Amino acid sequence: MSPDVNRPDGDYSAVPAHRFNGAPLEPVGDPLLAGVGPGAWAARADIPDMHEGHAKIVPLRVAADHGVSTRDTDPRGLTVFGADGQAAGQVTDLWIDRCEMLFRYIEVQVPAGTRVLLPIAFSVIRRNQVEVNAVYARHFAAVPALRNPNQVTKLEEEKISAYYG
| Dihedral, 156, 153, 96, 89 alpha carbons, nearest 10 | 30
Q: How far apart are alpha carbons 64 and 115 in whole angstroms?
A: 19
Block means of pLDDT (10 residues each) for the chain, 165 residues, are: 58 82 84 80 90 95 95 97 98 97 97 96 98 97 96 96 93
Strand, coil or helix: what is 160? helix
pLDDT for res 25: 83
**Neighbouring C-beta atoms of residue 142, cutoff 10 Å:** 14
pLDDT for res 3: 58
pLDDT for res 130: 98
Work out whether the CA dihedral 140, 146, 152, 153 comes out positive or negative.
Answer: negative
pLDDT for res 22: 82
Give the rounded distance of the alpha carbon of 107 from its chain centre.
9
pLDDT for res 40: 83
